[in-house]
Amino acid sequence: MLRFIRPTSLIAAALISAAVLILSSNAARAEGDFTYIGSEFFRYSSDRKSHVTKYEDETSLTFSYEKFSGFFRYSNYIYTPGLRKQPRLDKKSLSFQGKNYRVTAGTYSYLFGRGLTLSLMENKELGFDNELEGVKYEWAEKRTSAAVLYGVYKGGQKQWSKVTGLHVRQYLGDILSVGASFVGISEPQLTKWSRHQLVGVESSVRTSKWNIYSEYAKHNSPRPGIDGHGFYGNISYAVPGMSLAYSYKNYWQMQTKFNILPTLRDNPENEGVNGNDEKGYLAEARLSPFKDSSSFSLSYGQSNSHHGGFPYTEAMAVYHGDSSRRSFFNFTQTYWTSILGKRNRQNVEWTYRLDEDNTIVVTPQLTHVKDYGPGYNDYKVILEESWRGKISCVYTDERTLRHDLTQRWHLMEVKFKPAEKMECGLMFGSRRAAYVCSGGVCRLEPAFSGFQGYMQIFF
């Protein structure tokens, strides 16, 4: 191990230690509080499908001293076993908190309204990251708040996209607020820069029972004749024991790298949206009629392009049992149809507490698939046993019985906490390729066959 430590790394360690010691000694003299929270993550994985064997690590640290706070992350960790990433300081930020304002320099995420003009975030599991690197100024005073930002997005390119943004929100009375946003984007093309802007307005009404939200945005695209516009609206009524909600979307040429448009799809396997040509709706109802924590929910929605054609339709019915009981179950019925075919899925999750220390969860899942060809069934069973929250074992058995292909996958995962601030895990076996979606961002997760081990330490 010692031969891997270069002199430059030792010098870096000495400089970092010296900086912390100097900062802390100044902190002691100033009688301030220097606080921190951090984690160290290691992973080894070997994937026979992609023939990639790799070792990854990630160090992150959040600290604060008086009115300053910061976050750093040094990492080469990438969720997908078959991909590699160069180690680098991929997240770094420093913030100063004033009386009613905050200034941040470095990498940051942010959301304007519901994201029609700007939505910056990172989702590691999906390999999605559109956070900017630059400066952000936030101000809030009584009933008014504003944010101004400027940043660049590198995205692995030699030339970087540049983004400027402004968002203002004003409360009018106790229940009504209105807002406006402006986003300017400059993106490098082959021979020139492409510049486009988005302008948006939003309104929100909140009472104890009602929430009504609407947002409209225009997109002045650099290409003539294809300017865009988008609308998102949501109305909900919620009282103890019941809620009803209806949402509507209408997007035309709205998609950029820096916004994430509400999808209005509850089905987790189809959460993607075509921000350049899509409109649709989603209606939802929730009920908790009994004197326990059990609940029912129903949803129905459709999406389609503006010229019509084959719509995407989904319907879901979910029952959540009373999780305070020793034994309870959850049931989900999902149906969806699109131009690619139909799926009808039933999912049951049964939890049983053997005793104070042991819990068993059994999840059988049946999906009937009807694409272009004869229908077939996919089966999946997940068995999980956990002991006092310190050790858990999960076994997944999945198979597909397509007419031209019968295949089976087995996966075993073990997680344990040898100490309060440490967690370890092992995974071995195989997993099929599948779409993984979260919050409007979807990615095809490739199949995996091999071994993974990880350890995380908190300090």
Partner 1 sequence: MRLSIGLLVALILAAVIALPAVGKEDRAPSFTLEKMEGGRMSLKDILKDSKAVLLDFWDTTCTPCNELLPHVQRMHEAYGEKGLKVVIISEDTSLTIQDVKPSIKSHKYTFQVLLDPSHEVANQFGAKGYVPYIFVLDGTGRIALRHKGYRAGDEKDFEKSIRDLLGVKDEAKVDSAAGGEAAKGK
Q: Where in 44-63 is the site for partner 1 (CB under 8 A)? A: 55, 57, 59-63
Residues 248 and 226: their CA atoms lie apart, in Å, by: 23
Does position 287 interact with partner 1 (CB under 8 A)? The reply is: yes
Q: Could you tell me how many residues of this chain bind partner 1 (CB under 8 A)?
A: 113
For the chain, helix, strand, coil in percent to 5 are 5, 65, 30
Residues 425 and 417: their CA atoms lie apart, in Å, by: 9
Q: Which of 83, 125, 155, 172 binds partner 1 (CB under 8 A)?
A: 125
Angle at alpha carbon of residue 139, lines to 142 and 30, rounded to 5° = 105
| Beta carbon nearer to partner 1, 188 or 439 | 439
Among 261, 257, 265, CA closest to 277: 261
128-147 residues in contact with partner 1 (CB under 8 A) are 140
Does position 293 interact with partner 1 (CB under 8 A)? The reply is: yes
251-280 residues in contact with partner 1 (CB under 8 A) are 260, 262-263, 268, 271
Integer angstrom CA distances of residue 132 from 57, 69, 71, 92, 442: 23, 18, 15, 11, 20
Residues 199 and 71: their CA atoms lie apart, in Å, by: 31
Does position 124 interact with partner 1 (CB under 8 A)? The reply is: yes
Tell me phi and psi for residue 86, to 5 degrees.
-70, 140
C-beta atoms surrounding 377 within 10 Å: 13
The two structure tokens encoding residue 119: 């939505």
Question: Considering the complex, what minimum distance in angstroms separates the CB of residue 317 from partner 1?
Answer: 15
Residues 7 and 16: their CA atoms lie apart, in Å, by: 14
Does position 288 interact with partner 1 (CB under 8 A)? The reply is: yes
298-337 residues in contact with partner 1 (CB under 8 A) are 320, 322-326, 330
**103-111, 186-194, 195-203, 395-403 -> range binding partner 1 (CB under 8 A):** 103-111
Does position 414 interact with partner 1 (CB under 8 A)? The reply is: no
**32-40, 152-160, 182-190, 398-406 -> range binding partner 1 (CB under 8 A):** 32-40
Site string for partner 1, 183-212 (x = CB under 8 A): -----------------------x-x--x-
Question: Considering the complex, what minimum distance in angstroms separates the CB of residue 209 from partner 1?
Answer: 8
Q: How do beta strands 101-108 and 391-402 pair?
A: unpaired
Question: Considering the complex, what minimum distance in angstroms separates the CB of residue 86 from partner 1?
Answer: 9
Q: Which of 98, 388, 401, 408 binds partner 1 (CB under 8 A)?
A: 388
